[in-house]
Structure 1
Amino acid sequence: MSAPTAPADVVAKWEAHFPREELETLALAGYGNRLGFGTRPALLVVDATYSFCGAEPLPIRDAIAVNRRSCGDRAWAALEYIRELLAAARAAGIPVVYSAMRDPVDPAYEPGLWGAKNTRGVEDGGSPGEGRDNEILDEIAPGPGEIVFAKDKPSLFVGTGLPGYLVARGVDSLIICGGTSSGCVYATAVDGFSHNYRVAVAREASFDRVDTPHWAALLDIDMKYGDVVGTAEVVAHLAALRTRA
């Protein structure tokens, strides 16, 4: 029996970052279909805090010398695209949700096994003089009525009020951005898919410390759990929703 032909668009979309043969294998295995956008989306801005971004766009090694959770100038490059998404979401009147890691001084803080997988110990804040590690950057601060869920785990769905919040607002799809692509964005995308939401991750509005896990996580989401799309495509979709409304 002859092998099926790999969809050319699946290969073309990712061949700048992965071997063509591997992409063809994924396509031949049937991965990479588009889910498409829903009609009642929510925008999730994951962990765009001073801890993960830093107070200024430093090169990554300089950034982690200040705060070892920081993604440095990679995060700041993504912030420009996050601002575009926020403006489009607010104009369309869709729910906007932020997440931030729970502050260790919070009595509800439950670190679990975080300390077993890194040498940082308790996340005690690493922005000297700032004291704002787990706050959203001022440049993309929440607007009126926009909620920030504190979380202890990678996924925004775990141990937060997000599931009930989405149900109460009739949300049918998620647009996800923020960081890190291979950590909390990835975990939130998989859990969103597992809760039967259509998932879209805005490519340029997501960030990580280094390239390999960043692109690998985005590829895996795009193949199995959602659509990784350009920010401009998301903005156009939200503009169309606003027009129809």
Structure 2
Amino acid sequence: MRIHVYGKPHEITTGFDDYLDPSKTAVVSIDMHRGHLDPSPDCPCPAPRARDVVAPIDAFHDLVRSFGIPIIHVRSVLRRGGADDLNGISAAWRRTFPLHVGAIPNSEAHAIEGSRWTEFVTRVEPTDLIVETKRRLSAFYPTDLDFLLRNMHVETVVLNGGFTDCCVLNTAFDANNHNYRVVVARDLVRGTDDHLEAAALAMVSLHLGLVVDSADLIAEWRNAKPRLSGAPDRAAKIA
């Protein structure tokens, strides 16, 4: 299979079967909601580079569902009134990121519970799972993602979404520190810019797990029947 190491393609034939076993895998899609992706000028935390991966992520998820691999959508949600952010110890990005991009209009509305900014832009099907209460950068903090994955007997997480150099990278580090195997679909994530996106993927490839193209991962899963273990329902779907 082709992976990417420090930005360069690299062929592997052995040594990573456990990373590529679909029977022990879940896909985790991070922060693909209106608070980042809405095209309106009052979008509170715009990530416009990620808009072009909405359709590709939806197409990837359709194939993932056909294999019986669970999809977990994670979104940032903050309490009304700002107790866990604006009126407490606020998230660092609120003061640091504007030093690079300038003032962010309406940033106070970002991720407020019950607002339209928490609505997913990518498609969520009834069989999918949702993790909320992501209040900072990692999908593991302070959410129940780890609890959910362990109860599903998941050992490998495949990450997509945004930002590559922020929430995706933080989630990859936390997943690794929680002893999950990490795979990042490089064509289904977007970063602050090309430079930081490439840097984040390079760090993942050297320290945290596999960086792959989603089409290569799908092809690997299709060929995975001989080594499937522990999930007969998924094995039947992939077969």
For normalisation by structure 1, the TM-score amounts to: 0.73
Q: Does 1:13 align with 2:8?
A: yes
Contact kept, 8 Å, 1:97 with 1:149, in 2: the verdict is no
Q: How does 1:41-190 map to 2 (within 5 A)?
A: 41-55=25-39, 65-67=41-43, 69-72=45-48, 74-105=49-80, 109-110=84-85, 112-114=89-91, 115-119=94-98, 120=104, 123-125=107-109, 131-137=115-121, 139-190=122-173
SS at match of 1:153: coil
Figure out how many residues of one structure are paired with residues of the other and give that number: 207
Q: How does 1:212-227 map to 2 (within 5 A)?
A: 212-227=195-210
For residue 96 of structure 2, what is the amino acid of its counterpart?
K
Structure 1 residues 220 and 159: CA distance shift in structure 2, 3 A: same
Greater shift in the superposed pair: 194-203 or 144-153: 144-153
Q: Does 1:40 align with 2:19?
A: no
Q: Find the aligned partners of 2:82 and 2:42 in 1 and give their Cα distance.
A: 26
Contact kept, 8 Å, 2:164 with 2:192, in 1: the verdict is no
SS at match of 1:87: helix
What are the ranges of 5 or more consecutive residues in structure 2 without an aligned counterpart? 10-14, 99-103, 225-234
SS at match of 1:133: helix
SS at match of 2:116: coil
Q: Find the aligned partners of 1:96 and 1:185 in 2 and give their Cα distance.
A: 16
Q: Deviation string for 1:215-239 (max 9, x for gaps)?
A: 1101111111011100101222343
More strand as a share of residues: 2
Contact kept, 8 Å, 1:200 with 1:227, in 2: the verdict is yes
State the identity as a percent. 23
Structure 1 residues 225 and 205: CA distance shift in structure 2, 3 A: same
Q: Find the aligned partners of 2:59 and 2:155 in 1 and give their Cα distance.
A: 22
Structure 1 residues 209 and 66: CA distance shift in structure 2, 3 A: farther
Higher RCO (CA < 8 A, seq sep 6+) = 2
For residue 220 of structure 1, what is the amino acid of its counterpart?
M
Q: Find the aligned partners of 1:104 and 1:123 in 2 and give their Cα distance.
A: 14
